[in-house]
Structure 1
Protein backbone atom coordinates (compact mmCIF):
# COMPACT_ATOMS: atom_id res chain seq x y z
CA UNK A 1 0.00 0.00 0.00
CA UNK A 2 1.14 3.57 -0.63
CA UNK A 3 3.28 5.39 1.91
CA UNK A 4 1.69 7.64 4.51
CA UNK A 5 -1.00 5.12 5.44
CA UNK A 6 -1.24 4.47 9.18
CA UNK A 7 -2.51 1.29 10.85
CA UNK A 8 -4.07 2.21 14.18
CA UNK A 9 -5.41 -0.35 16.68
CA UNK A 10 -8.88 0.60 17.90
CA UNK A 11 -9.22 -1.58 20.96
CA UNK A 12 -8.60 -5.31 20.71
CA UNK A 13 -11.01 -6.08 17.86
CA UNK A 14 -10.82 -3.20 15.39
CA UNK A 15 -8.20 -1.76 13.05
CA UNK A 16 -8.33 1.77 11.64
CA UNK A 17 -6.53 2.36 8.34
CA UNK A 18 -5.89 6.10 8.04
CA UNK A 19 -5.00 7.66 4.68
CA UNK A 20 -4.38 11.26 5.72
CA UNK A 21 -5.75 14.30 7.50
CA UNK A 22 -8.66 16.57 6.71
CA UNK A 23 -11.66 16.35 4.40
CA UNK A 24 -10.50 15.51 0.90
CA UNK A 25 -12.37 13.78 -1.92
CA UNK A 26 -9.27 11.89 -3.10
CA UNK A 27 -8.58 10.54 0.39
CA UNK A 28 -12.19 9.47 0.75
CA UNK A 29 -12.15 7.68 -2.59
CA UNK A 30 -9.14 5.70 -1.36
CA UNK A 31 -11.14 4.77 1.73
CA UNK A 32 -14.07 3.60 -0.39
CA UNK A 33 -11.81 1.68 -2.77
CA UNK A 34 -10.11 -0.11 0.12
CA UNK A 35 -13.49 -1.03 1.58
CA UNK A 36 -14.59 -2.50 -1.76
CA UNK A 37 -11.35 -4.47 -2.12
CA UNK A 38 -11.55 -5.79 1.44
CA UNK A 39 -15.15 -6.86 0.98
CA UNK A 40 -14.20 -8.62 -2.26
CA UNK A 41 -11.36 -10.39 -0.41
CA UNK A 42 -13.97 -11.75 2.05
CA UNK A 43 -11.50 -12.47 4.83
CA UNK A 44 -12.59 -14.86 7.56
CA UNK A 45 -12.96 -12.99 10.83
CA UNK A 46 -13.75 -9.58 9.34
CA UNK A 47 -17.13 -8.55 10.74
CA UNK A 48 -17.79 -5.03 9.49
CA UNK A 49 -16.13 -2.06 7.80
CA UNK A 50 -16.91 1.56 8.68
CA UNK A 51 -15.73 4.30 6.28
CA UNK A 52 -15.10 7.86 7.47
CA UNK A 53 -13.76 11.02 5.81
CA UNK A 54 -10.17 9.78 5.78
CA UNK A 55 -10.05 6.30 7.28
CA UNK A 56 -11.59 2.85 7.25
CA UNK A 57 -12.22 1.02 10.51
CA UNK A 58 -12.28 -2.76 10.21
CA UNK A 59 -14.04 -4.66 12.99
CA UNK A 60 -12.81 -8.23 13.33
CA UNK A 61 -13.03 -11.33 15.50
CA UNK A 62 -9.59 -11.74 17.15
CA UNK A 63 -10.26 -15.43 17.73
CA UNK A 64 -10.29 -15.88 13.94
CA UNK A 65 -7.79 -13.29 12.68
CA UNK A 66 -5.33 -11.30 14.77
CA UNK A 67 -4.20 -7.70 14.40
CA UNK A 68 -0.85 -8.51 12.77
CA UNK A 69 -2.33 -10.80 10.14
CA UNK A 70 -5.13 -8.36 9.35
CA UNK A 71 -2.59 -5.56 8.85
CA UNK A 72 -0.62 -7.85 6.53
CA UNK A 73 -3.73 -8.78 4.53
CA UNK A 74 -4.82 -5.16 4.17
CA UNK A 75 -1.32 -4.05 3.20
CA UNK A 76 -1.18 -6.72 0.49
CA UNK A 77 -4.42 -5.62 -1.17
CA UNK A 78 -4.11 -4.09 -4.62
CA UNK A 79 -7.14 -1.85 -4.58
CA UNK A 80 -6.14 0.66 -7.27
CA UNK A 81 -8.18 -1.36 -9.76
CA UNK A 82 -11.18 -0.99 -7.45
CA UNK A 83 -11.30 2.80 -7.64
CA UNK A 84 -14.50 2.60 -9.67
CA UNK A 85 -16.13 1.05 -6.60
CA UNK A 86 -15.91 4.50 -5.02
CA UNK A 87 -18.54 5.68 -7.51
CA UNK A 88 -21.83 5.21 -5.70
CA UNK A 89 -25.47 5.70 -6.53
CA UNK A 90 -27.13 8.99 -7.44
CA UNK A 91 -30.01 9.58 -5.03
CA UNK A 92 -32.44 12.44 -5.64
CA UNK A 93 -34.34 13.82 -2.64
CA UNK A 94 -37.02 16.53 -2.53
CA UNK A 95 -36.29 19.54 -0.29
CA UNK A 96 -38.49 22.45 0.74
CA UNK A 97 -36.08 25.35 1.17
CA UNK A 98 -36.60 28.34 3.46
CA UNK A 99 -39.64 29.40 5.45
CA UNK A 100 -40.55 27.22 8.42
CA UNK A 101 -38.51 24.38 6.92
CA UNK A 102 -35.30 26.40 6.54
CA UNK A 103 -35.21 29.32 8.97
CA UNK A 104 -31.53 30.07 8.35
CA UNK A 105 -31.73 30.28 4.56
CA UNK A 106 -31.85 34.08 4.53
CA UNK A 107 -28.80 34.41 6.77
CA UNK A 108 -26.84 31.85 4.74
CA UNK A 109 -27.72 33.63 1.50
CA UNK A 110 -26.81 37.06 2.88
CA UNK A 111 -23.46 35.80 4.18
CA UNK A 112 -22.56 34.76 0.64
CA UNK A 113 -23.86 37.92 -1.02
CA UNK A 114 -26.86 36.09 -2.50
CA UNK A 115 -30.62 36.34 -2.32
CA UNK A 116 -32.60 33.29 -1.20
CA UNK A 117 -33.46 32.16 -4.73
CA UNK A 118 -29.79 32.30 -5.73
CA UNK A 119 -28.75 30.37 -2.62
CA UNK A 120 -31.32 27.65 -3.38
CA UNK A 121 -30.12 27.44 -6.98
CA UNK A 122 -26.47 27.15 -5.93
CA UNK A 123 -27.15 24.58 -3.23
CA UNK A 124 -29.45 22.38 -5.33
CA UNK A 125 -26.98 22.46 -8.25
CA UNK A 126 -24.35 20.60 -6.21
CA UNK A 127 -23.91 16.84 -6.51
CA UNK A 128 -23.58 16.31 -2.76
CA UNK A 129 -21.00 13.56 -2.25
CA UNK A 130 -21.61 11.43 0.85
CA UNK A 131 -18.25 11.27 2.62
CA UNK A 132 -19.53 9.27 5.57
CA UNK A 133 -22.48 8.36 7.77
CA UNK A 134 -22.08 9.39 11.39
CA UNK A 135 -23.28 11.37 14.43
CA UNK A 136 -26.60 9.48 14.30
CA UNK A 137 -27.82 6.43 12.34
CA UNK A 138 -28.31 7.39 8.69
CA UNK A 139 -26.90 10.92 9.15
CA UNK A 140 -24.87 11.87 6.03
CA UNK A 141 -21.95 14.28 5.87
CA UNK A 142 -21.86 15.59 2.30
CA UNK A 143 -19.63 17.93 0.31
CA UNK A 144 -18.48 20.05 -1.22
CA UNK A 145 -20.19 23.44 -1.15
CA UNK A 146 -19.11 26.48 -3.19
CA UNK A 147 -17.35 29.28 -1.33
CA UNK A 148 -20.44 31.49 -1.20
CA UNK A 149 -22.30 28.84 0.82
CA UNK A 150 -19.39 28.04 3.13
CA UNK A 151 -19.62 29.48 6.63
CA UNK A 152 -18.88 28.40 10.22
CA UNK A 153 -21.35 26.62 12.46
CA UNK A 154 -23.94 28.72 14.28
CA UNK A 155 -22.66 30.63 17.30
CA UNK A 156 -25.56 29.22 19.34
CA UNK A 157 -26.69 25.66 18.54
CA UNK A 158 -30.38 24.86 18.54
CA UNK A 159 -31.64 22.47 21.19
CA UNK A 160 -33.91 20.78 18.65
CA UNK A 161 -33.58 20.28 14.91
CA UNK A 162 -36.58 18.68 13.16
CA UNK A 163 -36.02 15.33 11.45
CA UNK A 164 -35.27 15.73 7.75
CA UNK A 165 -33.67 19.15 8.23
CA UNK A 166 -31.07 20.01 5.59
CA UNK A 167 -28.31 22.13 7.11
CA UNK A 168 -24.96 23.59 6.05
CA UNK A 169 -21.67 24.55 7.71
CA UNK A 170 -17.91 24.28 7.12
CA UNK A 171 -18.37 23.63 3.40
CA UNK A 172 -20.64 20.64 3.91
CA UNK A 173 -24.31 19.67 4.00
CA UNK A 174 -25.95 17.32 6.48
CA UNK A 175 -29.47 15.95 6.81
CA UNK A 176 -30.70 15.19 10.32
CA UNK A 177 -32.54 11.83 10.30
CA UNK A 178 -33.98 12.37 13.80
CA UNK A 179 -34.94 15.27 16.01
CA UNK A 180 -31.78 16.29 17.85
CA UNK A 181 -29.72 19.29 18.93
CA UNK A 182 -27.67 20.83 16.14
CA UNK A 183 -25.32 23.70 15.42
CA UNK A 184 -25.54 23.81 11.62
CA UNK A 185 -27.55 26.35 9.60
CA UNK A 186 -30.99 24.96 8.72
CA UNK A 187 -31.86 25.89 5.12
CA UNK A 188 -34.53 23.33 4.22
CA UNK A 189 -36.20 20.05 5.01
CA UNK A 190 -36.88 16.79 3.19
CA UNK A 191 -39.95 14.63 3.85
CA UNK A 192 -37.87 11.51 3.21
CA UNK A 193 -37.18 9.20 6.14
CA UNK A 194 -33.41 8.70 6.03
CA UNK A 195 -33.38 5.91 8.60
CA UNK A 196 -36.15 3.41 9.23
CA UNK A 197 -35.46 0.23 11.17
CA UNK A 198 -38.44 -1.45 9.47
CA UNK A 199 -36.68 -1.36 6.07
CA UNK A 200 -34.44 -4.22 4.95
CA UNK A 201 -31.60 -1.68 4.79
CA UNK A 202 -32.53 0.92 7.43
CA UNK A 203 -30.16 3.69 6.26
CA UNK A 204 -31.21 5.22 2.95
CA UNK A 205 -27.83 6.75 2.10
CA UNK A 206 -24.35 5.27 2.24
CA UNK A 207 -20.82 6.56 1.89
CA UNK A 208 -19.86 7.08 -1.75
CA UNK A 209 -23.35 8.07 -2.89
CA UNK A 210 -24.05 11.38 -4.62
CA UNK A 211 -27.20 13.19 -3.53
CA UNK A 212 -29.17 15.58 -5.70
CA UNK A 213 -31.58 17.88 -3.85
CA UNK A 214 -34.70 18.80 -5.82
CA UNK A 215 -36.41 22.00 -4.62
CA UNK A 216 -40.13 21.63 -3.90
CA UNK A 217 -42.76 23.97 -2.50
CA UNK A 218 -44.16 23.71 1.02
CA UNK A 219 -47.39 22.26 -0.42
CA UNK A 220 -45.45 19.68 -2.41
CA UNK A 221 -43.54 18.81 0.76
CA UNK A 222 -46.81 18.11 2.58
CA UNK A 223 -48.05 15.94 -0.28
CA UNK A 224 -44.80 13.98 -0.54
CA UNK A 225 -44.71 13.39 3.21
CA UNK A 226 -47.77 11.15 2.88
CA UNK A 227 -46.38 9.15 -0.03
CA UNK A 228 -44.29 5.95 0.07
CA UNK A 229 -40.53 6.14 -0.29
CA UNK A 230 -40.66 4.90 -3.89
CA UNK A 231 -42.70 7.98 -4.84
CA UNK A 232 -40.49 10.41 -2.92
CA UNK A 233 -37.06 9.63 -4.34
CA UNK A 234 -35.20 8.31 -7.34
CA UNK A 235 -32.06 6.17 -7.21
CA UNK A 236 -29.72 5.64 -10.15
CA UNK A 237 -27.33 2.74 -9.67
CA UNK A 238 -23.74 3.20 -10.90
CA UNK A 239 -22.71 1.63 -14.18
CA UNK A 240 -20.40 -1.36 -13.69
Structure 2
Protein backbone atom coordinates (compact mmCIF):
# COMPACT_ATOMS: atom_id res chain seq x y z
CA UNK A 1 0.00 0.00 0.00
CA UNK A 2 1.53 3.39 -0.97
CA UNK A 3 2.61 5.66 1.85
CA UNK A 4 1.56 9.26 2.27
CA UNK A 5 4.08 11.89 1.26
CA UNK A 6 5.78 13.94 3.98
CA UNK A 7 7.49 17.23 3.17
CA UNK A 8 11.03 17.45 4.58
CA UNK A 9 11.44 19.68 7.62
CA UNK A 10 13.94 21.84 5.73
CA UNK A 11 11.21 22.88 3.28
CA UNK A 12 9.07 24.48 5.98
CA UNK A 13 8.83 28.28 5.80
CA UNK A 14 9.60 30.20 8.96
CA UNK A 15 7.41 32.72 10.73
CA UNK A 16 4.24 30.70 11.45
CA UNK A 17 4.96 28.45 14.44
CA UNK A 18 2.67 25.46 14.85
CA UNK A 19 -0.14 26.10 17.32
CA UNK A 20 0.08 29.91 17.13
CA UNK A 21 -3.16 31.69 16.21
CA UNK A 22 -2.54 34.14 13.32
CA UNK A 23 -3.38 37.80 13.93
CA UNK A 24 -4.64 38.37 10.38
CA UNK A 25 -7.24 36.76 8.16
CA UNK A 26 -4.62 36.44 5.41
CA UNK A 27 -1.75 34.09 6.16
CA UNK A 28 0.01 34.47 2.85
CA UNK A 29 -0.60 35.91 -0.60
CA UNK A 30 0.85 35.28 -4.05
CA UNK A 31 0.37 38.11 -6.57
CA UNK A 32 -1.16 37.58 -9.98
CA UNK A 33 1.21 36.88 -12.87
CA UNK A 34 0.77 36.28 -16.57
CA UNK A 35 0.71 32.53 -15.89
CA UNK A 36 -1.43 32.28 -12.75
CA UNK A 37 -4.10 34.17 -10.78
CA UNK A 38 -3.64 35.81 -7.39
CA UNK A 39 -3.71 33.32 -4.52
CA UNK A 40 -4.73 34.11 -0.93
CA UNK A 41 -4.38 31.67 1.97
CA UNK A 42 -6.77 32.22 4.89
CA UNK A 43 -7.24 30.34 8.18
CA UNK A 44 -10.64 28.70 8.42
CA UNK A 45 -10.83 27.47 12.00
CA UNK A 46 -8.31 25.42 13.96
CA UNK A 47 -7.84 22.73 11.35
CA UNK A 48 -8.90 24.19 8.01
CA UNK A 49 -7.19 26.41 5.46
CA UNK A 50 -8.97 28.25 2.65
CA UNK A 51 -7.17 28.78 -0.66
CA UNK A 52 -8.76 31.54 -2.76
CA UNK A 53 -8.00 32.30 -6.40
CA UNK A 54 -8.41 35.58 -8.24
CA UNK A 55 -10.98 38.35 -7.77
CA UNK A 56 -14.51 37.81 -6.48
CA UNK A 57 -16.02 37.18 -9.92
CA UNK A 58 -17.51 34.24 -11.79
CA UNK A 59 -14.57 33.00 -13.87
CA UNK A 60 -14.54 29.43 -15.15
CA UNK A 61 -10.74 29.49 -15.42
CA UNK A 62 -10.57 29.97 -11.65
CA UNK A 63 -12.81 26.94 -11.15
CA UNK A 64 -10.48 24.87 -13.33
CA UNK A 65 -7.53 26.12 -11.28
CA UNK A 66 -9.27 24.91 -8.12
CA UNK A 67 -9.87 21.55 -9.79
CA UNK A 68 -6.21 21.29 -10.75
CA UNK A 69 -5.08 21.99 -7.18
CA UNK A 70 -7.61 19.48 -5.83
CA UNK A 71 -6.25 16.79 -8.16
CA UNK A 72 -2.62 17.69 -7.38
CA UNK A 73 -3.12 17.45 -3.62
CA UNK A 74 -5.03 14.19 -3.96
CA UNK A 75 -2.21 12.67 -6.00
CA UNK A 76 0.41 13.65 -3.40
CA UNK A 77 -1.24 11.60 -0.63
CA UNK A 78 0.01 14.04 1.99
CA UNK A 79 0.05 12.80 5.57
CA UNK A 80 -2.24 15.01 7.66
CA UNK A 81 -4.59 16.12 4.89
CA UNK A 82 -8.02 14.91 6.04
CA UNK A 83 -10.33 16.23 3.33
CA UNK A 84 -10.53 18.65 0.40
CA UNK A 85 -13.64 20.68 -0.40
CA UNK A 86 -13.58 22.57 -3.72
CA UNK A 87 -15.69 25.67 -4.29
CA UNK A 88 -16.22 27.99 -7.24
CA UNK A 89 -12.93 29.87 -6.78
CA UNK A 90 -11.60 28.33 -3.59
CA UNK A 91 -10.44 25.09 -2.03
CA UNK A 92 -10.85 24.35 1.66
CA UNK A 93 -8.22 22.03 3.09
CA UNK A 94 -9.08 20.10 6.24
CA UNK A 95 -5.85 19.05 7.90
CA UNK A 96 -4.61 17.54 11.16
CA UNK A 97 -2.28 20.12 12.78
CA UNK A 98 -0.69 17.41 14.91
CA UNK A 99 0.51 15.60 11.81
CA UNK A 100 0.78 18.47 9.36
CA UNK A 101 1.74 21.86 10.85
CA UNK A 102 0.26 24.91 9.17
CA UNK A 103 3.68 26.13 8.07
CA UNK A 104 4.37 22.86 6.27
CA UNK A 105 0.94 22.86 4.63
CA UNK A 106 1.54 26.37 3.30
CA UNK A 107 4.89 25.27 1.88
CA UNK A 108 3.22 22.37 0.08
CA UNK A 109 0.53 24.64 -1.36
CA UNK A 110 3.09 27.14 -2.58
CA UNK A 111 5.05 24.34 -4.22
CA UNK A 112 1.85 23.23 -5.94
CA UNK A 113 1.44 26.63 -7.58
CA UNK A 114 4.72 26.11 -9.40
CA UNK A 115 3.63 22.71 -10.70
CA UNK A 116 0.00 23.25 -11.72
CA UNK A 117 -0.59 23.37 -15.49
CA UNK A 118 -1.97 26.51 -17.16
CA UNK A 119 -5.71 26.56 -17.96
CA UNK A 120 -5.03 25.92 -21.66
CA UNK A 121 -3.54 22.53 -20.78
CA UNK A 122 -6.30 21.41 -18.41
CA UNK A 123 -8.99 18.92 -19.34
CA UNK A 124 -11.74 17.28 -17.31
CA UNK A 125 -14.03 14.36 -18.00
CA UNK A 126 -17.63 15.48 -18.37
CA UNK A 127 -21.01 14.11 -19.35
CA UNK A 128 -24.16 15.76 -20.66
CA UNK A 129 -27.41 15.40 -18.74
CA UNK A 130 -30.68 16.65 -20.21
CA UNK A 131 -32.99 18.02 -17.54
CA UNK A 132 -36.73 18.28 -18.30
CA UNK A 133 -38.30 21.36 -16.74
CA UNK A 134 -41.86 22.46 -16.16
CA UNK A 135 -42.36 26.20 -16.19
CA UNK A 136 -44.52 28.13 -13.71
CA UNK A 137 -45.97 24.88 -12.38
CA UNK A 138 -48.55 24.53 -9.55
CA UNK A 139 -45.97 23.44 -6.94
CA UNK A 140 -43.89 26.56 -7.56
CA UNK A 141 -46.92 28.81 -7.33
CA UNK A 142 -47.89 27.09 -4.06
CA UNK A 143 -44.42 27.79 -2.63
CA UNK A 144 -44.80 31.48 -3.50
CA UNK A 145 -48.27 31.57 -1.95
CA UNK A 146 -47.02 29.98 1.28
CA UNK A 147 -44.16 32.48 1.40
CA UNK A 148 -46.52 35.43 1.01
CA UNK A 149 -48.88 34.15 3.71
CA UNK A 150 -46.28 33.04 6.22
CA UNK A 151 -43.06 35.00 5.67
CA UNK A 152 -43.21 38.22 3.64
CA UNK A 153 -46.19 39.39 1.64
CA UNK A 154 -44.56 42.52 0.17
CA UNK A 155 -41.37 40.91 -1.18
CA UNK A 156 -40.45 42.25 -4.65
CA UNK A 157 -40.28 38.69 -6.08
CA UNK A 158 -43.94 38.09 -5.24
CA UNK A 159 -46.49 37.28 -6.47
CA UNK A 160 -44.47 36.12 -9.52
CA UNK A 161 -40.84 35.02 -9.48
CA UNK A 162 -40.83 35.10 -13.26
CA UNK A 163 -42.01 38.69 -13.47
CA UNK A 164 -39.32 39.64 -10.95
CA UNK A 165 -36.63 37.91 -13.05
CA UNK A 166 -37.92 39.64 -16.17
CA UNK A 167 -37.90 43.04 -14.50
CA UNK A 168 -34.43 42.97 -12.92
CA UNK A 169 -32.83 41.53 -16.06
CA UNK A 170 -34.42 44.14 -18.32
CA UNK A 171 -36.28 41.63 -20.49
CA UNK A 172 -39.34 42.41 -22.57
CA UNK A 173 -41.53 39.51 -21.48
CA UNK A 174 -41.78 36.41 -19.30
CA UNK A 175 -41.48 34.41 -22.50
CA UNK A 176 -37.96 35.85 -22.83
CA UNK A 177 -37.18 34.42 -19.38
CA UNK A 178 -38.46 31.03 -20.45
CA UNK A 179 -36.53 31.10 -23.72
CA UNK A 180 -33.21 31.96 -22.05
CA UNK A 181 -33.62 29.30 -19.35
CA UNK A 182 -34.44 26.57 -21.88
CA UNK A 183 -31.77 27.56 -24.41
CA UNK A 184 -28.94 27.55 -21.87
CA UNK A 185 -26.36 24.82 -21.38
CA UNK A 186 -25.29 24.73 -17.75
CA UNK A 187 -21.95 23.69 -16.30
CA UNK A 188 -22.18 22.08 -12.85
CA UNK A 189 -19.36 23.67 -10.88
CA UNK A 190 -19.76 21.57 -7.76
CA UNK A 191 -22.09 19.87 -5.32
CA UNK A 192 -23.32 21.23 -2.02
CA UNK A 193 -25.12 24.45 -2.93
CA UNK A 194 -27.82 25.11 -0.29
CA UNK A 195 -27.47 21.56 1.08
CA UNK A 196 -25.26 18.49 0.65
CA UNK A 197 -25.35 17.00 -2.83
CA UNK A 198 -27.24 19.84 -4.51
CA UNK A 199 -25.61 20.86 -7.80
CA UNK A 200 -24.54 24.46 -8.34
CA UNK A 201 -24.50 25.29 -12.04
CA UNK A 202 -24.11 28.31 -14.28
CA UNK A 203 -24.74 28.80 -18.01
CA UNK A 204 -21.65 28.36 -20.17
CA UNK A 205 -22.76 31.26 -22.37
CA UNK A 206 -22.70 34.51 -20.33
CA UNK A 207 -25.69 35.76 -22.36
CA UNK A 208 -27.80 33.06 -20.71
CA UNK A 209 -26.87 34.07 -17.16
CA UNK A 210 -30.01 35.48 -15.61
CA UNK A 211 -29.25 37.21 -12.31
CA UNK A 212 -31.65 37.17 -9.36
CA UNK A 213 -31.55 37.72 -5.63
CA UNK A 214 -32.11 35.06 -3.00
CA UNK A 215 -35.24 35.16 -0.86
CA UNK A 216 -34.79 37.37 2.20
CA UNK A 217 -36.03 36.14 4.61
CA UNK A 218 -35.57 32.60 3.34
CA UNK A 219 -38.42 30.33 2.31
CA UNK A 220 -39.73 27.92 4.92
CA UNK A 221 -40.82 25.40 2.26
CA UNK A 222 -39.57 24.50 -1.21
CA UNK A 223 -41.16 21.78 -3.35
CA UNK A 224 -39.05 18.71 -4.03
CA UNK A 225 -37.06 18.84 -7.30
CA UNK A 226 -37.69 22.56 -7.72
CA UNK A 227 -35.13 24.48 -9.76
CA UNK A 228 -34.06 27.84 -8.40
CA UNK A 229 -31.75 30.65 -9.50
CA UNK A 230 -29.80 32.71 -6.97
CA UNK A 231 -27.28 35.23 -8.20
CA UNK A 232 -26.11 33.69 -11.49
CA UNK A 233 -26.25 30.12 -10.19
CA UNK A 234 -28.86 27.43 -10.69
CA UNK A 235 -29.66 24.84 -8.03
CA UNK A 236 -31.91 21.78 -7.93
CA UNK A 237 -33.70 21.20 -4.63
CA UNK A 238 -33.82 17.40 -4.46
Fold in common (TM above 0.5): yes
Q: In structure 1, which of residues 16, 20, 27 is the aligned counterpart of residue 54 of structure 2?
A: 20
Q: 1:86 to 1:114 in 2, by over 3 A?
A: farther
TM-score by length of 2: 0.63
Distance 1:11 1:154 in 2: 29
Q: Does 1:58 align with 2:93?
A: yes
Q: In structure 2, which of residues 193, 196, 200 is the aligned counterpart of residue 134 of structure 1?
A: 193
SS at match of 2:85: strand
Alignment partner, residue 132 of structure 2? 94
Q: Where in structure 2 are the equivalents of 1:156-171 lying within 5 Å? A: 157-171=218-232
Q: 1:6 to 1:110 in 2, by over 3 A?
A: closer
Alignment partner, residue 210 of structure 1? none
Q: State the 1:148 CA deviation.
A: 7.5
Instruction: Select between 150-159 and 12-21 the one with higher mean Cα deviation.
Output: 150-159
Q: State the 1:136 CA deviation.
A: 0.9
Distance 1:175 1:27 in 2: 23
SS at match of 1:80: coil
Q: 1:12 to 1:108 in 2, by over 3 A?
A: same
User: Pairwise CA RMSD of aligned residues?
Assistant: 2.8
Instruction: With a CA cutoff of 8 Å and minimum separation of 6, indicate the structure with the bigger relative contact order.
Output: 1
TM-score by length of 1: 0.62
Greater gyration radius: 2
Instruction: Select between 131-140 and 100-109 the one with higher mean Cα deviation.
Output: 100-109
Number of positions where the alignment pairs a residue of Structure 1 with one of Structure 2: 177
Unaligned runs of 5+ in 2: 1-28, 32-37, 142-159
Which structure shows the bigger proportion of residues in strand conformation? Answer: 1
